[in-house]
């Protein structure tokens, strides 16, 4: 097995040898950021467990594999629009596809978007809308802190870009389907940027999805800026396969009176690491960070979150719940920072876990760093088994044990699903989670929320 | 219909039931009284199939079948209903979904098709009015945030929905106000037929004014130490349990 130095050296070689391809087609700003990022990566490397923030997730086996890397957009030999048909009419979305981290070249035009809304690839955005792009790109996901972000920024070529202009309300959610489809094992680097301007409103659903059974590693970074009075929802559905690695870092910055809700639902994947960073950078923001993970077999999930109350009078609610079965393992870290002048902060956090087997493990760690004195904060973590009294109560009414367990697990998970602010999506996720808990989604060649092929 | 022979039950090595004998016939109402900790709830739980308890000796048959051999859900479908002394709150499980699943499991067991949504709602409505339970309660998660009395009413509502052959009501009267007590007792009486039987576990004679028992048993220290007609309840109400304890050497 390779050690971390070999892995880091391989990336250095890739960066140097592939430099021409890396620079090709990317804007100057992207390439300048890339150069700095690579220097940071050279210092940081892929995080190992010696890094306190990655204590519970060993990335060496994830990276120690001869992946293919596409530094150029690869033409797709089929029409992905044909393959992907939405079969849930109630869930009406503006859908775009990405393939292996790249904005798909034959995406259908989104005709129903309000005027001024932009949905396109990052490369295209950097070129066509430099004013918007340059104002935000690389501003929130700092490369000197996390080796994965540095690596992503060093290798970033494409991803999705969404821009919602001032005052524009997008009724229909935008659905981004990240497809992994390759005939070889593949590492994808995806870099996304979402800019929601003042008084705008948008809901984005991101689905991660594998189309073939190859081993995949995705290292994605999403930067989001939500301006004053804007309302923004980000739903992430991770539904890949046991041989995939999802490394997903999201950086959200909020301006005054903005309201953000994110809900990250991990249904299937071999190794999943979500880094979720929020900074409440002006007053009177509301942030809701929710997540749910349903893991079994040898799956691993690690949700690492930080909510930074940089300014006074903001409210944050964070709630993650997980159901762990078999030998599944997981971790949750919830950091809340309340900076010195962030008075009148309200920050709430909880993490609840249901362990269904003796071999499943979860490490949960709240961490509150509070430098202001007038704050309301609470945190709590629970790890428990199924409530035997409740189980007996259901069975005593004639409900068989399997169904009774199912009802209790579902009830446990539903609390997080209930936070979804798109009604048809909520119903769809309910169904999906019910199936997942019944063990009926084992392969995940079905799109998490809308698609059949 | 129910026959308990020399039932011994222990938990964590501690003997709790020490040789219970009890026969219940269709149409009968039995009351079981006895001091705190005597083993009344243990008996009820063992009948319903709670596996926390170990049956170390004895037999229980229900309608000719070996009850102890059955899973709790099968006992329920065979017609046993336990009204819990402490009904469990189950956040996130809606009462409607819970009852629909239970009713349909019972129907499946009998070889019947599941009820249609509208038939189910009709049944709910009918039974709700029987026990005068508010829709506000049945629209919530099972027992979540219910008051003590509301939980007890909800037990009777579930009983009405499932129409058991043998209902074991464990202190369904405690925590009920006078009106609720009357409603609950009325519910039980309305559900009574010649073919079903009821065991009421209670501390209070007042319930037995409404649900008139054929037999009253006193359970003390894991044994049934006295069995008589309904006048026994009155006597207990008057004299307490000391004389029972004395008679049994404590
Ligand atoms: N889960 C348990 N673990 C240990 N002991 C138990 C358990 N359940 C019951 N017991 C013990 O068994 C004995 C009988 O309890 P049980 O609940 O059957 O009494 P009861 O007659 O219903 O009393 P009450 O009138 O207070 O309801 C008590 O001593 C009680 O402490
Ligand atoms: Mg009791």
Average pLDDT in the B44-50 region?
96
> Residue B105: its chain A contacts at CB < 8 A?
398-400, 403
Check residue A98 and give its pLDDT. 96
Cα B249–chain centre separation? 30
Shortest CA distance to A187 belongs to which of A14, A359, A66? A66
pLDDT digits (tens, 9 = 90+) for B187-238: 889 889 999 999 999 988 888 889 999 999 999 999 999 899 988 988 888 8
DSSP notation for A333-379? EEEEEE-TT-TTEEEEEEEEEEE-SSS-EEEEEEEEEE--SSEEEEE
Are A408 and B91 a contacting pair at CB < 8 A? no
If you average pLDDT over residues B113-132, what whole number do you get?
Answer: 93
Q: Binning pLDDT at 50, 70 and 90, where does residue A447 land?
A: very low
For residue A407, give the nearest of B84, B93, B158 by CB distance.
Answer: B93
Percent of chain A with pLDDT over 90: 83
Residue A443 pLDDT > 80, yes or no?
no
Q: Are A81 and A32 in contact (CB under 8 A)?
A: no
CB contact under 8 A, A395 and B72: yes
What single-letter DSSP state applies at residue A46?
S
Give the start-end residues of each E strand in A371-442.
Answer: 375-384
Q: Would you state the pLDDT for residue B166?
A: 97
Cα(A444)–Cα(A427) distance, integer angstroms: 19
Instruction: Write out chain A residues lying below 8 Å of B109, CB-based.
Output: 398
Q: What CA–CA distance (Å, rounded) separates A372 from A369?
A: 9
pLDDT, residue A1, reads 60
Mean pLDDT score, A204-227? 93
pLDDT band at B27 (very low <50, low <70, confident <90, very high): very high
Residue A438: the pLDDT is: 87
Ligand 1 center to B56 CA (angstroms): 17
The verdict on the CB of residue B222 being under 6 Å from ligand 1 is: no
pLDDT at A442 over 80: no
Look at residue A450 in the predicted model and tell me its pLDDT. Answer: 39
Q: What is the pLDDT of residue A287?
A: 98
> What structural domains and CATH numbers belong to chain B?
2-247 (3.40.50.300)
Distance CA A162, CA A118 (A): 6
Burial state string for A74-87 with b = 16 or more CB within 10 A and e = fewer than 16: eebeeebeebbebe
Q: What is the mean pLDDT of residues A133-154?
A: 97
Closest CA to A239 of A183, A275, A292: A292
Contacts of B77 in chain A (CB under 8 A): 398
Note the pLDDT tens digit of each residue in B8-25. 999 998 999 999 999 999
Tokens encoding B90: 């189950």
Quickly state the pLDDT bin for A89 (edges 50, 70, 90).
low
- Round to whole Å and give the CA distance between A197 and A165: 5
Count Cβ–Cβ pairs < 8 Å, chain A vs chain B.
77
CA angle B1, B7, B11 (to 5 degrees): 125
- Nearest chain B residue to A416, by CA: B92
State ipTM: 0.96
Q: Average pLDDT of A291-299?
A: 94
Q: Find the ligand nearest to B13 CA.
A: 1
pLDDT tens digits, one per residue of A324-340? 999 999 999 999 999 99
B34 alpha carbon, closest ligand: 1
**Please, which residues have CB within 8 angstroms of residue A364's CB and are 6 or more apart in sequence?**
A331, A332, A333, A351, A353, A381, A383
For residues B25 and B6, give the distance between their C-alpha atoms in angstroms, rounded to a whole number: 18
A449: confidence class by pLDDT, cuts 50, 70, 90: very low
Band of the pLDDT at A445, cuts 50, 70, 90? very low
Name the pLDDT band for B133 (thresholds 50, 70, 90): confident
Average model confidence (pLDDT) for chain A?
A: 93
What confidence category does residue A88 fall into, taking pLDDT thresholds of 50, 70 and 90? low
pLDDT at residue A441, as a whole number:
67
State the pLDDT confidence band at A269, using cuts at 50, 70 and 90: confident
Q: Which of A354, A393, A437 best tests the B interface by mutation, with the highest count of B CBs <10 A?
A: A393
For residue range A53-62, list pLDDT tens digits in order. Answer: 999 999 999 9
For B77, nearest residue in chain A (alpha carbons): A398
Can you give the pLDDT at residue A133? 98
Q: In the Cβ-directed half-sphere of A293, how many Cα atoms lie within 13 Å?
A: 29
- Asked if B92 lies within 8 A of A414 by C-beta distance, the reply is yes
CB of A176 closer than 8 Å to CB of A207: yes
| Residue of A96, A37, A102, A104 whose CA lies nearest to A71 | A102
Flag if B72 and A392 touch (Cβ within 8 Å): yes
What is the band of B180 on the pLDDT scale with cuts at 50, 70, 90?
A: confident
Closest CA to A436 of A331, A272, A289, A323: A323
Q: What is the pLDDT of residue A431?
A: 87
For strands A259-268 and A231-239, give the pairing. parallel
**Which tens digit of pLDDT belongs to each residue from A426-439?**
988 888 888 888 88
Inform me whether the pLDDT recorded for B134 exceeds 90.
Answer: no
Q: Which of B93, B105, B108, B168 to mutate to test the interface with A (most CBs of A within 10 A)?
A: B93
Inform me whether the pLDDT recorded for B249 exceeds 80. Answer: no
Contact B158 A397 (CB under 8 A): yes
Above 80 in pLDDT, residue A84? no
Cα–Cα dist A177/A330, whole Å: 25
Reduce the secondary structure of chain B to three states and give it as a string.
CEEEEEEEEEECCEEEEEEEEEEECCCCEEEEECCCCCCHHHHHHHHHCCCCCEEEEEEEEECCEEHHHCCHHHHHHHCEEEECCCCCCEEEEEHHHHHHHHHHHHHHHCCCCCCCHHHHHHHHHHHHHHCCCCHHHHCCEECCCCCHHHHHHHHHHHHHHHCCCEEEEECCCCCCCHHHHHHHHHHHHHHCCCCCEEEEECCCHHHHHHCCCCEEEEEECCEEEEEECCHHHHHHHHHCCHHHHHHCCC
The torsion angles phi and psi of A90, rounded to 5 degrees, stand at: -70, -25
């Amino acid at each position: 097995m390779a050690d971390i130095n070999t892995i880091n050296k391989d990336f250095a070689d890739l960066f140097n040898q592939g430099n021409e391809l890396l620079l090709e087609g990317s804007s100057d700003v992207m390439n300048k950021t890339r150069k700095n990022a690579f220097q940071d990566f050279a210092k940081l490397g892929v995080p190992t467990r010696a890094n306190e923030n990655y204590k519970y997730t060993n990335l060496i086996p994830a990276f120690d594999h001869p992946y293919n890397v596409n530094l150029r957009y690869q033409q797709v030999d089929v029409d992905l629009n044909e393959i992907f048909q939405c079969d849930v009419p109630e869930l009406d979305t503006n859908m775009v596809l990405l393939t292996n981290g790249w904005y798909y070249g034959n995406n259908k035009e989104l005709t129903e978007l309000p005027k001024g809304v932009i949905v396109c690839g990052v490369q295209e955005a950097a070129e066509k809308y430099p004013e918007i792009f340059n104002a935000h790109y690389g501003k929130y996901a700092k490369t000197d802190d996390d080796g994965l972000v540095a690596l992503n920024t060093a290798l970033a070529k494409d991803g999705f870009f969404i821009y919602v202009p001032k005052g524009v309300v997008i009724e229909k959610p935008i659905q981004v389907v990240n497809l992994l489809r390759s005939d070889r094992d593949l590492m994808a680097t995806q870099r996304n940027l979402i800019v929601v301007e003042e008084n705008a409103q948008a809901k984005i659903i991101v689905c991660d999805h594998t189309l073939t059974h190859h081993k995949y590693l995705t290292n994605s970074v999403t930067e989001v800026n939500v301006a004053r009075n804007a309302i923004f929802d980000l739903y992430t559905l991770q539904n890949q396969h046991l041989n995939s690695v999802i490394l997903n870092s999201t950086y959200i910055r909020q301006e005054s009176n903005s309201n953000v809700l994110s809900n990250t639902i991990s249904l299937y994947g071999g190794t999943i690491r979500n880094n979720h960073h929020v900074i409440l950078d002006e007053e009177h923001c509301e942030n809701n960070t929710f997540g749910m993970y349903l893991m079994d077999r040898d799956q691993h999930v690690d949700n690492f979150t930080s909510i930074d109350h940089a300014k006074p009078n903001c409210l944050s609610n964070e709630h993650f719940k997980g159901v762990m079965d078999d030998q599944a393992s997981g971790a949750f870290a919830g950091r809340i920072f309340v900076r010195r002048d962030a008075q009148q902060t309200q920050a709430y956090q909880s993490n609840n876990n249901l362990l269904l087997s003796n071999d499943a493990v979860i490490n949960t760690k709240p961490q509150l760093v509070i430098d202001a004195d007038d704050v309301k904060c609470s945190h709590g973590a629970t790890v428990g088994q199924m409530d035997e009294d409740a189980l007996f109560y259901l069975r005593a009414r004639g409900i068989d044990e399997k169904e009774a367990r199912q009802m209790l697990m579902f009830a446990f998970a539903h609390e997080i699903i209930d936070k979804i602010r798109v009604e048809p999506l909520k119903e769809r996720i309910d169904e999906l989670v019910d199936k997942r808990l019944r063990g009926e989604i084992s392969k995940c060649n079905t799109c998490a929320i809308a698609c059949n092929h | 219909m129910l026959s308990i022979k020399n039932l011994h039950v222990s938990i964590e090595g501690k003997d709790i039931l020490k040789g219970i004998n009890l026969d219940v016939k269709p149409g009968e109402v039995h009351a079981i009284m006895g001091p705190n900790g005597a083993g009344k709830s243990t008996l009820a739980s063992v009948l319903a199939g709670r596996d926390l308890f170990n049956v170390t000796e004895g037999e229980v048959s229900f309608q000719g079948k070996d009850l102890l051999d059955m899973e709790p859900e099968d006992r329920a479908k065979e017609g046993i209903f336990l009204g819990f002394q402490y009904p469990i709150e189950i956040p996130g499980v809606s009462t409607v979904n819970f009852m629909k699943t239970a009713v349909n499991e019972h129907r499946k067991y009998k070889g019947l098709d599941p009820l249609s949504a509208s038939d189910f709602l009709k049944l709910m409505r009918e039974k709700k009015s029987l026990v005068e339970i508010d829709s506000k309660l049945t629209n919530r998660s099972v027992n979540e945030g219910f008051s003590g009395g509301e939980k007890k009413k909800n037990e009777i509502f579930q009983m009405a929905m499932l129409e058991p052959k043998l209902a074991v009501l464990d202190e369904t009267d405690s925590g009920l106000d006078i009106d609720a007590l009357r409603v609950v007792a009325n519910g039980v009486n309305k559900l009574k037929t010649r073919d079903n039987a009821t065991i009421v576990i209670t501390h209070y004679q007042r319930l037995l004014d409404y649900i008139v028992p054929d037999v009253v048993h006193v359970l003390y220290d894991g044994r049934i130490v006295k069995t008589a007609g309904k006048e026994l309840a009155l006597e207990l109400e008057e004299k307490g349990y000391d004389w029972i304890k004395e008679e049994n050497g404590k």
